[in-house]
Amino acid sequence: MNSRQPVLFLGHGDPMNALYDNAFTRALKTLGGSLPAKPSAVLLISAHWLTRGNFVSAAARPETIYDFGGFPDELYQVKYPAPGSPELAAKIADNIPSVSIDKTRGIDHGGWTVLKHLFPAADIPVVSMSIDFGKAPIHYVELGRQLRFLRDENVLVIGSGNIVHNIGMYFRKRDELPFDWAVEFDAYIASALKSGDMAALTDYERAGECASLSHPTNDHLLPLFYSAGARHENEDALFIHEEIIRSMSMRCVRFG
């Protein structure tokens, strides 16, 4: 039997979360156990796969990608050996003509650092979808709408980024208290999601200076638009984790 899966947006933050036991990772563990059924596959849209054009990964055994530097050796020993699904990748490409197949892409840290807590057995196939960088937000929302059908086929769609993401300011601050502008922008996006105001969401720059400070580049916000597009109009936005560390929002959202 098919089960409609929810669609998620997860703030992934510091790659070290892969190793931590904290409120964020515990929320992910709880989330993984609260789904209506075990997903047949995961479609991951990560802020860390930016391309020209749209691609889906079709590697049968996607590698764990360590797309960062300067972290403890322990982090580079983590493996997330989930299988891929060439069949799902082909189905997506068949249904969305703008999407092409990439046969080699692995799972980057926007994926495995959260999937490790959601599904620690690593037994659910994972397919990644790239972000065709530089498009207007509505472009990504429309792609999300085109991915809705997967939810009724027991596929869990996950966008992974951060609602507030300013790395420069993150490392500049000595304590973990959030910047006022980070709190303001996080609240702006949360309000748009709660009310279902897609115009406010996609025209997020209307929030003013807090928007530009929160996203010097908007790569980490873009996965949210896919998730919001895959949401059905009657589905509430549920916040399964709310936290801002300096200039990084770890807010996680479930639709459905």
Is the model's pLDDT at 97 over the cut of 80?
A: yes
Q: What is the pTM of this model?
A: 0.97
Q: Report whether pLDDT(59) > 60.
A: yes
Distance CA 45, CA 231 (A): 15
pLDDT of residue 194: 98
Q: Own/partner pairs for 212-217, CB < 8 Å, 24+ apart?
A: 213/166, 213/169, 213/179, 213/181, 213/182, 213/185, 213/247, 214/163, 214/164, 214/165, 214/166, 214/181, 214/182, 214/185, 214/186, 214/247, 214/249, 215/164, 215/165, 215/166, 216/166, 216/168
Q: What is the CATH number of domain 7-255?
A: 3.40.830.10
Q: Counting every residue, how long is the chain?
A: 256
Q: Which two tokens stand for residue 120?
A: 């620690």
Percent of the chain at pLDDT exceeding 90: 97
**What pLDDT band is residue 161 in, cutting at 50, 70 and 90?**
very high
Mean pLDDT taken over the chain: 97
- Predicted confidence (pLDDT) at residue 1 exceeds the cutoff of 50: no
What is the structure's pLDDT at 3?
A: 76
pLDDT at 2 over 90: no
What is the domain partition of the chain in residue ranges?
Answer: 7-255
Q: Residue 29: what residue type?
A: K
Q: Render pLDDT for 207-240 as a digit per residue (tens, 0 to 9).
A: 999 999 999 999 999 999 999 999 999 999 999 9
pLDDT of residue 224: 99
Q: What is the pLDDT of residues 164-206, one digit of tens each?
A: 999 999 988 889 999 999 999 999 999 999 999 999 999 999 9
Alpha-carbon gap, residue 245 to 226, rounded angstroms: 24
- Overall average pLDDT of the 93-107 stretch: 98
